[in-house]
Structure 1
Amino acid sequence: MTAWQSPIAPGMSWYQTSAGERPTYPALDGSRATDVAIIGGGYTGLQAAFCLASAGVSVTLIEACRVGDGASGRNGGQLGTGQRWWPEEQEETLGLERSRALFDMAEHAKRYLLDFADKHGIDADYVAGHMSVAHKPGHERDYRANAEIAASRYDYPYLSYMDRKETAERLGSNHYHCGVYDAGTGHIHPLKLLIGLARTAAAAGAAIHENTPATSIAQTGGKTLIETPGGTITASRVLIATNAHIGRLEPVTAAHVMPIRSFIGATAPLDAHPTILAGHESVADSRFVVRYFRKLQNGQLLFGGREAYTADSPRDMSRHIRRQIAEIYPALADVEITHSWGGSVGITLTREPFVREVMPGVMSVGGYSGHGVMLSNYCGKLYADMTLGKATELSYLADLNVPAFPGGTRLRAPLLFLALTWYALRDRF
């Protein structure tokens, strides 16, 4: 195993080879007491650690593998707009006022991320422009309405409807029927952001320990005790920010946040295909099992998605990725895949974030369901604000009704994989 290969995330990502040196942090060696303990070294945990340490709070963050091995360092890099669902969809169940509050929160998250990177000199390779595209002709009415509703009810004037001709021209493909162009968001290099965030948190005084898994969590005498192979952490407050990697550590989180496997590939530069995503925007389609892709500045295509879900990784990730690319871009049927990688994404039953106090003084935040680049960073900041006694928008997520997955510990994973496979089949028709 090389320094870049992770036991929880197969394959070598393009991000790893392009991000430069990734700093290392020592494993925990010995027991300690701290004001706040954070389990998980992704965006949520590191943002919380930075904000708390900057306010003078004693913070100890532990990561089971290396910082960046989870979804925060290996995702599609798309910021998106709003929550996981379109705002008009949330209106149907939550009403306009709550839906608007959640939409505004997501816009605050977008601005926080970009401002944070700028303030701390983190070059995350931000590129503006995103397209949501429809893989079925019956979606045209919804896509037209989406842009109109965003402007009239959510004060978001950056969406514009694309007919089939414009969609084909922007994508360089006739595969999709229509779409919505979003000029108010874009995409980033997620690992560059994470590396910069970790360095910033450490510089603020947060103690970061890699290769330090939490093996148990319990409470005694008004404190929370976290056992690790290198020692015990005693804390007044704890943030569980493991997302898809909760395992058996804490049962309430495990019942609500389910890991699924997601896979991404990077092609060789598409020098012979200049019309493919000539504007370098990011794209996500309307499938339930979403396909997402974007063109890098060097001309490579990053493409993510998979048709069928299992608990394991395929032996040849490149073959699965290339097949999906060829459905959209037939001329790329034999394109070279220079990098292919995967990992676990934390999803919830409703595809809404899971925010809950699972023990006294122990908050669990995760389950971003593929929409976490903005929200996870912002939720880490909001958790810190809450810990410091401030009123925050985190309560908007805590108030959501996110039920546990059915089936208990033995059946919920098989049931989920069957359901996702069914959705993948439905997407084809």
Structure 2
Amino acid sequence: MSSGSYPPSWYAASATPLPEQPTLQGRTDADVCILGAGYTGLSAALELAEAGYRVVVLEAERIGWGASGRNGGQAIAGFSCGEAKLEALAGFADARKMFDLSREGLRWLRDRIDRHGIACDWRDGHAQVPIKPRQERELRAAMEELGTRYDYPVEWWSRERLREQLASDRYLGALYDPNSGHLHPLEYALGLARAAMAAGVRIFEHSRVTELVRGRHPVLKTAQGEVRCGFAVIAGNALLRGIAPELESRAMPVGTYIAATVPLGEERARALIRNDMAVADTNWALDYYRLSRDHRLLFGGRASYSTLPPPNLRGVMTRRMRRVFPQLHDVGIEYLWGGMIDISLNRAPHWGRLTPQVYFAQGFSGHGVIATGLAGKLIAEAIRGQSERLDLFAKIPHRPFPGGRALRTPLLVAAMAWYKLRDALW
């Protein structure tokens, strides 16, 4: 894939490219117009096109250019805020329904991969790993909660059992989920786009939306054209700018970063993670990692809440990786990239309607590989007249980030410093 088409990354270098799609020129009409060709927008587009709707997708850059094509690739059931927070926000009955929908979202993801032949390197298995006794207690409590109240079976692995699969002495055990897993994010986005276009979706790249005109027939305008539609879907997430202020005030862009080592060779790579699962620790500033199909270690972490890249990022990522795997003391990083995710103030999903004709989804908060596809499907259902399941999420209360546009970033940076200190001290 051309490095000029996407920000340089191992994903961009290893994905099977799609031809560039045209830029929107002039006026066109659609039943549904979607802003954003990431997982949310493409999933909604595919569902609606298969139901017979005329769908247009407007993408400011390239398909999967944002978080959908640059994320950690870990597909995990549930939501970033956790079940306890959802219960506090919506009550147990609705929280349980939402969790069950996330499980359904995982099944839909697997179904899309199989049904459309998307070659995105799906692998089963995900482990959350504690570093400190407090974290182990929290994970064991979460396992009990998932099993007894959410009927979701996960396993507790002792330190010894984990060590049989993961060649690191850093952790006290693992909460292992055999149903979750990991994939190649950009390949999955491009596969969704191929399926959507085969179903009749028109995708326009390099067609940044500059204005949303609300009304009975919304209009999305770009520099060189516009789309008049019956329904609009706003799926710009962290990259949304100047289109819907009430959404932008309730989502904050956060930078996340991933490194890919040089190829390790199959034997050395498999010695690190023998069962090929994805792994994430439970620190607030967490490490997460997995193996690639060409036997690299893909290692993520070091979030930036200031929107500025961290200083000496390569050195920081190398040290973090070798803290987990000291045996990689002689291994260098070949690719290093980052991107923006969107977080909500309560880390819960923020999905719903701006008007009866304008739908949106944001606030995936770093936990979006499954949730984005779920959001797209539920929005498609609502447009088709079945809104009960989307309305569950629309009931979650969301407040703007404090401080307004000028102060919200420094306030968030200060808050994150506290959580990092908490990780370090106890």
Structure 1 gap ranges (5+) = none
Partner of 1:81: 77
Partner of 1:239: 233
The range that moved more, 321-330 or 417-426, is 417-426
Contact conserved, 2:2 with 2:13, CA < 8 A, in 1?
no
3-state SS, counterpart of residue 359 of structure 2 = strand
User: Match for 2:288 among 286, 292, 299?
Assistant: 292
3-state SS, counterpart of residue 44 of structure 1 = helix
Partner of 1:192: 187
Partner of 2:32: 36
Paired-residue identity, %: 38
Task: Answer yes or no: is 1:324 the counterpart of 2:323.
Answer: no
3-state SS, counterpart of residue 375 of structure 2 = helix
Q: d(CA) in 1 for partners of 2:385 and 2:217?
A: 19
Task: Answer yes or no: is 1:143 the counterpart of 2:139.
Answer: yes
Contact conserved, 1:257 with 1:347, CA < 8 A, in 2?
yes
Q: d(CA) in 1 for partners of 2:112 and 2:16?
A: 20
Q: How does 1:92-241 map to 2 (within 5 A)?
A: 92-157=88-153, 159-219=154-214, 222-241=216-235
Letter in 1 for 2:109: L
Task: Sort the Cα spacing of 1:141 and 1:412 in 2 relative to 1 into closer, same or farther, 3 A.
Answer: same
Q: TM-score if structure 1 supplies the norm length?
A: 0.93
3-state SS, counterpart of residue 20 of structure 1 = coil
Q: d(CA) in 1 for partners of 2:279 and 2:17?
A: 29
Task: Sort the Cα spacing of 1:307 and 1:211 in 2 relative to 1 into closer, same or farther, 3 A.
Answer: closer
Q: Cα deviations across residues 102-155 of structure 1 (Å, max 9, x unaligned)?
A: 110100000001011111111221111110011211222222232233222222
The range that moved more, 317-326 or 173-182, is 317-326
Partner of 1:262: 256
Task: Sort the Cα spacing of 1:243 and 1:425 in 2 relative to 1 into closer, same or farther, 3 A.
Answer: same
Q: d(CA) in 2 for partners of 1:162 and 1:150?
A: 16
3-state SS, counterpart of residue 419 of structure 1 = helix
Letter in 1 for 2:384: L
Q: d(CA) in 2 for partners of 1:94 and 1:118?
A: 34
Instruction: Count the aligned residue pairs.
Output: 423
Q: d(CA) in 2 for partners of 1:89 and 1:224?
A: 35
Q: d(CA) in 2 for partners of 1:319 and 1:62?
A: 38
3-state SS, counterpart of residue 345 of structure 1 = strand
Letter in 2 for 1:145: A
The range that moved more, 409-418 or 101-110, is 409-418
Q: d(CA) in 1 for partners of 2:251 and 2:84?
A: 25
Partner of 2:12: 16
Coordinate RMSD, CA, aligned: 2.0
How far 1:226 moved relative to its partner?
Answer: 1.8
Task: Answer yes or no: is 1:52 the counterpart of 2:51.
Answer: no
Q: How does 1:293-308 map to 2 (within 5 A)?
A: 293-306=289-302, 308=304
Q: TM-score if structure 2 supplies the norm length?
A: 0.94
How far 1:325 moved relative to its partner?
Answer: 0.6
How far 1:89 moved relative to its partner?
Answer: 5.0
Q: d(CA) in 2 for partners of 1:402 and 1:72?
A: 23
Partner of 1:375: 371
3-state SS, counterpart of residue 347 of structure 2 = coil
Task: Sort the Cα spacing of 1:237 and 1:116 in 2 relative to 1 into closer, same or farther, 3 A.
Answer: same
